[in-house]
Amino acid sequence: MATNCGGIAAGVDIDCDHLPRGGTRNNLLLIKKDEWDLAVNAGTITFDGTTPNIIDACVLSTGDQGYLFEQFDDAVKPVVTGVKKASGYRYKQTLDFIVVAKTAAAEKVVNDMGSERYVAIYQNKYAGNDGDQKYKVFGVECGLRRPDGGAELDPYNDVDGCWMLKLESEDDALETKGQYTFYDSDEATTDAAFVVLQSAAE
């Protein structure tokens, strides 16, 4: 019987043509976790058989949709922190972002988020090799929620008084993978699938 759930079977090469770079781009997509799970169970969200932290197809069920929060570059701030637990190694995911609008409609969105769980797809500024590093996904297994203090409004903050929001893994529902990558075939195909996620499926 295994005494430890882990152990690598390969190393990591340096790809000199596609060295990693930092920063995030201007779109953040939130999907309700229960709608995500329905699509996984229906087989329209699938995972690569060889590298299971790659999502290779992502289509929501009919009528479900993701909600796009437009940002400026580097305004979405994802952080992953490893946590050693008695039940095995886990990852806490934290996502900070702002609501770049001060309208009543925007504030209704903030209010309506409540304590629901979400899956979040953010964009790296650097896309990698034909888009294979572009889309990263948080909350795939357990979802992210707003914690206490996860919504802050201060007219004198450094984002001109906009709402500052936080989503994170709950301490009793951490993820077993640092994050997932959404990548289907090539960058153009993945970009098109990301756009479809933003509107109701036909």
Residues 183, 157 contacting (CB under 8 angstroms): no
For the chain, give the percent of residues with pLDDT over 70.
Answer: 97
Q: What is the pTM of this model?
A: 0.94
Residues 47, 55 contacting (CB under 8 angstroms): yes
Distance CA 59, CA 42 (A): 10
Confidence class for position 201, pLDDT limits 50, 70, 90: low
Q: Give the pLDDT confidence score for residue 2 in this predicted structure.
A: 62
The full set of domain ranges for the chain reads 24-196
Distance CA 70, CA 37 (A): 24
C-alpha Rg value of the chain to the nearest Å: 17
- Number of other CB atoms surrounding residue 66 within 10 Å: 22
Pairing assessment for the beta strands 24-32 and 118-124 based on DSSP bridges: antiparallel
Reply yes or no on whether the pLDDT at 111 is more than 70: yes
Distance CA 99, CA 97 (A): 7
Q: Give the pLDDT confidence score for residue 199 in this predicted structure.
A: 81
CA angle 33, 98, 193 (to 5 degrees): 45
Confidence class for position 202, pLDDT limits 50, 70, 90: low
Phi/psi of residue 189, each to 5°?
-65, -40
Phi/psi of residue 10, each to 5°?
-160, 160
Q: Quick: pLDDT tens for 73-91.
A: 999 999 999 999 998 999 9
CA angle 169, 29, 158 (to 5 degrees): 80
Q: Quick: pLDDT tens for 122-167.
A: 999 999 999 999 999 999 999 999 999 999 999 998 888 999 999 9
